């Protein structure tokens, strides 16, 4: 009989939620009572809203426990591990019965995330046990040509998952066709989207799939060196990458004459980046690797012709490389059977914002945004009204409620004014001010501008100043037109894709929520009741009991009135802090 396994999710999300402490508790219980179960580690399973997560696998199947505390961990060991009686109250996923969170997993197709949450990411043996490195072995054993590998990737329809959506196979072919004896393959693990943590989670959970994808890509294009560019703020990802690289070298997957392929000499090293948003752009990334300031270069020449150190180079992101071994091993059809005509396979999304079930999901292309938010994501927090979703990160765009049935497809998403990006999906509800949302994202892109292009450097600054004025109640007639004019000039004049897309949050907000901008400017009101300078707090005389709580707690003594008599708020003195509104037990204070 197989020994019972107790597996703790120790990705960054789990560690932040206290999973490390849970692991130590389980370890202490095992050692103190000399219990006969196997305690293991894994990474993020995607269900971040239920962290810390502990999985028990016994002869009856798999049982995933969520929001585990020390007390619950003790109960799991005593009742389930020792007593063989699963504790149903804490189970969020099980093989034997349905759970309330079953829809989170329903509809997911895991290809890039196929091993995340199932293996110990620091064990190459566990990766190999799940078909790991079989794809590159098949290439070696069958003697597949470089062109045959490229053709498989082309036929699969795999497009770059880093944002641009360019054909991966075409990119590889361009690099292959260059006759240079020295070439590089680069993995961009420094995605700038702060909401898109999927690349970090992929590396933390399954680093070998990324390495194998790079090795296959290196064989296909004839690369002699590989670099993983990963931001230094991802210490756990870097640690697991270094462990995986050492293991891969020991097993002969990296080095000279890999797997007996004569002349296939290839190794990979990790370059730690400073987390600059602009380094998501490939020429800026190359400059950073070379020790220069991360700034984009004019193209052409493209990296496939003249990239790192002036040599032909190919750059793909983490998710793209993670798909490659699966495609090569199982054939192009195993991937392109999912998706739409022009967008094949699956896509990983990081769900965040005003959504009940935040976390990491992998869905087939063609699924609607509605299905992702209301089925997998469980809907809007506190059952409030869905308003919009920001897709594509800070330089993406917002997709409003009436377009919620838009399919996840590169062309359909682009048609809304948003972009697929690297997969950040920030959900907004009725309390979100779209003017302030545009200000928030533009503030990020403005600060992250490398400064090379005048319109990106100065134009975004001027746009931000206008947006700040509008949210402070100081908007003027003509501000909307100024924003649109500046946005178009920034898009037309910026050198790189990041500058060209920086105005997207503002443009899509204006396109779908122009009335909110007009209300801020002309009515001096925030329809979402979010922008403090535009709020007005009023006491209702018929509801005020004169309890004086609001008057006593007001930090600026803006509230006056006699005890047991209706009070008044001085609008000239009020600083819009909202403390009176939150403290009133009689609903006698309104905000408008």
Q: Could you write out the three-class secondary structure of 168-235?
A: HHHHHHHHHCCCCCCCEEEEEECCCCCCCCHHHHHHHHCHHHHHHHHHHHHHHHCCCEEEEEEECCCH
Say whether domain 434-523 belongs to CATH 1.20.1440.230.
yes
Q: Which residues contact 238 (CB under 8 A, 6 or more apart)?
A: 230, 232, 270, 272
Helix axes 235-250, 207-221, angle to 10 degrees: 60
Nearest residue to 154 (alpha-carbon basis) of 87, 220, 206, 73 = 220
Which pLDDT tens digit goes with each residue over 535-550?
999 999 999 999 999 9
The overall average pLDDT reported for the chain is: 94
Q: Is the distance from CB of 180 to CB of 312 less than 8 angstroms? A: yes
86-89-91-94 Cα dihedral, nearest 10 degrees: 60
> Token pair 């990458």 is at which residue?
241
Q: Which residue has the tokens 């793909």?
A: 316
- pLDDT at residue 424, rounded to an integer: 86
Q: For residue 490, is pLDDT > 70?
A: yes
Question: Is 38's pLDDT higher than 70?
Answer: yes
Cis check: omega of the bond before 301, within 30 degrees of 0: yes
Confidence of residue 194 (pLDDT cuts 50, 70, 90): very low
For the domain spanning 5-100, the CATH number is 3.40.30.10
pLDDT, tens digit (0-9, with 9 covering 90-100), for 247-288: 999 999 999 999 999 999 999 999 998 878 888 889 999 999
What pLDDT, on the 0 to 100 scale, is given for residue 195? 44
CB atoms within 10 A of CB 534: 24
Which sign does the torsion angle of CA 123, 125, 128, 129 carry? Answer: negative
Task: Return d(Cα 445, Cα 456) in angstroms, integer.
Answer: 9
Reply yes or no on whether the pLDDT at 558 is more than 90. Answer: yes
**Farthest CA pair distance, the chain:** 92
Q: Are 524 and 435 in contact (CB under 8 A)?
A: no
Q: Give strand pairing partners of 359.
A: 351
Element (H, E) at 92: strand 91-94
Q: Helix %, strand %, coil % for the chain, to 5?
A: 45, 15, 40
Q: Within 10 Å of residue 152's Cβ, how many Cβ atoms?
A: 25
> Pick from 341, 358, 408, 424: which is nearest to 157 by CA?
341
Q: What CATH number matches the domain at 346-429, 3.40.50.2000, 3.20.20.80, 3.10.20.600, 3.40.50.670?
A: 3.10.20.600
Angle made by CA atoms 9, 60, 67, in degrees to the nearest 5: 30
Tens-place pLDDT, residues 159-180:
999 877 899 999 999 999 998 8
Q: Is it the case that residue 1 has pLDDT exceeding 90?
A: no
Our separate counts of H helices and E strands in the chain read 24, 18
The secondary structure of residue 458, as a DSSP letter, is I
Q: Rounded distance, CA 526 to CA 542, Å?
A: 26
pLDDT of residue 280: 84
Distances, alpha carbon 508 to alpha carbons 388, 438, 481, 527, 530, in Å: 11, 9, 14, 18, 19
246-275: b (≥16 Cβ within 10 Å) or e: ebbeeeebbeeebbeeeebebbbebbebee
Sheet holding 268-273, edge to edge: 268-273, 225-231, 184-189, 313-317
Let me know if 451 is exposed, middle or buried by CB neighbors in 10 A (0-12, 13-18, 19+).
Answer: exposed
Residue 565's Cα: distance from chain center in Å?
A: 53
Domain ranges of the chain: 5-100, 124-336, 346-429, 434-523, 535-591
Per-residue pLDDT reduced to its tens digit, 69-83: 999 999 999 999 999
Pick from 125, 202, 216: which is nearest to 161 by CA?
Answer: 202
- Phi/psi zone of residue 545: left (φ > 0), alpha (ψ -120 to 50 degrees), beta? alpha
Q: What is 535-591's CATH topology?
A: Alpha-Beta Plaits (3.30.70)
Task: Please state, in angstroms and rounded to a whole number, the distance separating the CA atoms of residues 230 and 203.
Answer: 10
Q: What are phi and psi of 344, to 5 degrees?
A: -95, 160
Which residues are paired to 317 by β-bridges? 188
- pTM for the predicted model, two decimal places: 0.94
Condensed to tens digits (0 to 9), the pLDDT of residues 210-252 reads 999 999 999 999 999 999 999 888 899 999 999 999 999 999 9
Token reading at 512: 């779908």
Q: With contact defined as beta carbons under 8 Å apart, do 260 and 170 qualify?
A: no
3-state secondary structure 378-447: CCEHHHCCEEEEEECHHHCEEEEHHHCCCECCHHHHHHCCCCCCCCEEEEEECCCCHHHHHHHHHHHHHH
pLDDT of residue 277: 85
Pairing of strands 589-591, 54-58: unpaired
State the fold for domain 124-336: Rossmann fold (3.40.50)
Q: What is the pLDDT of residue 383?
A: 94
């Amino acid at each position: 009989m197989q020994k019972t396994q107790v597996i703790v999710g120790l990705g960054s999300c789990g560690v932040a939620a206290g999973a490390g402490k849970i692991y130590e508790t389980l370890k202490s219980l095992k050692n103190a009572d000399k219990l006969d179960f196997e305690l293991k580690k894994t990474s993020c399973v995607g269900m971040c809203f239920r962290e810390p997560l502990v999985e028990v696998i016994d002869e009856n199947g798999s049982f995933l426990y969520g929001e585990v505390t020390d007390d619950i961990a003790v109960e799991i060991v005593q009742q389930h591990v020792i007593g063989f009686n699963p504790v149903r109250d804490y189970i969020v996923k099980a093989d034997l019965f349905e759970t309330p969170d079953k829809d989170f997993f329903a509809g997911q197709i895991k290809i890039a995330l196929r091993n995340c949450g199932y293996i110990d990411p620091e064990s190459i043996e566990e990766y190999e046990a799940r078909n790991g490195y079989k794809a590159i072995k098949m290439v070696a054993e069958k003697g597949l040509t470089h062109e045959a590998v490229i053709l498989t990737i082309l036929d699969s329809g795999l497009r770059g998952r880093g944002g641009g959506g360019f054909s991966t196979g075409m990119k590889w072919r361009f690099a292959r066709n260059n006759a240079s004896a020295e070439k590089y393959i680069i993995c961009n693990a420094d995605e700038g989207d702060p909401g898109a943590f999927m690349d970090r989670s992929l590396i933390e959970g399954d680093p070998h799939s990324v390495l194998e994808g790079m090795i296959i890509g290196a064989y296909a294009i004839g690369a002699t060196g590989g670099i993983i560019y990963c931001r230094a703020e991802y210490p756990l990802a870097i640690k697991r990458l270094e462990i995986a690289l050492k293991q891969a070298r020991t097993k002969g997957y990296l080095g000279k004459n890999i797997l007996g392929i004569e002349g296939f000499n290839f190794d990979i090293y990790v370059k730690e980046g400073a987390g600059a948003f602009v380094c998501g752009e490939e020429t800026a990334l190359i400059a950073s690797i070379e020790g220069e300031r991360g700034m984009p270069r004019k193209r052409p020449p493209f990296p496939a012709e003249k990239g790192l150190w002036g040599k032909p180079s190919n750059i793909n992101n983490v998710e793209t490389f993670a798909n490659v071994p699966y495609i090569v091993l199982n054939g192009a059809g195993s991937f392109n059977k999912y998706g739409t005509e022009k967008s094949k396979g699956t896509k990983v999304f990081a769900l965040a914002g005003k959504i009940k079930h935040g976390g990491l999901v992998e869905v087939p292309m063609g699924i609607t945004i509605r299905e992702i938010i209301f089925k997998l994501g469980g809907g809007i927090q506190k059952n409030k009204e869905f308003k919009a979703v920001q897709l594509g990160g800070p330089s993406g765009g917002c997709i409003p409620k009436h377009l919620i049935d838009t399919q996840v497809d590169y062309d359909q998403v682009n048609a809304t004014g948003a972009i697929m990006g690297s997969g950040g999906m920030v959900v907004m509800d009725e309390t979100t001010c779209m003017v302030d949302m545009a200000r928030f994202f533009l503030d990020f892109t403005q600060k992250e501008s490398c400064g090379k292009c005048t319109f990106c450097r100065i134009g975004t600054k001027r746009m931000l100043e206008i947006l700040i004025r509008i949210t402070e109640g100081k908007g003027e007639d003509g501000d909307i037109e100024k924003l649109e004019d500046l946005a178009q000039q920034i898009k037309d004049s910026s050198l790189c894709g990041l500058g060209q897309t920086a105005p997207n949050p503002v443009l899509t907000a204006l396109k779908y929520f122009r009335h909110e901008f007009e209300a801020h400017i002309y009515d001096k009101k925030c329809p979402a009741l979010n922008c403090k300078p535009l709020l007005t707090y009023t006491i209702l005389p018929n509801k005020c009991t004169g309890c004086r709580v609001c008057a006593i707690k007001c930090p600026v003594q803006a509230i006056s009135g006699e005890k047991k008599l209706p009070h008044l708020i001085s609008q000239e003195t009020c600083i819009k802090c909202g403390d009176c509104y939150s403290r009133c037990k009689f609903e006698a204070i309104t905000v408008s």
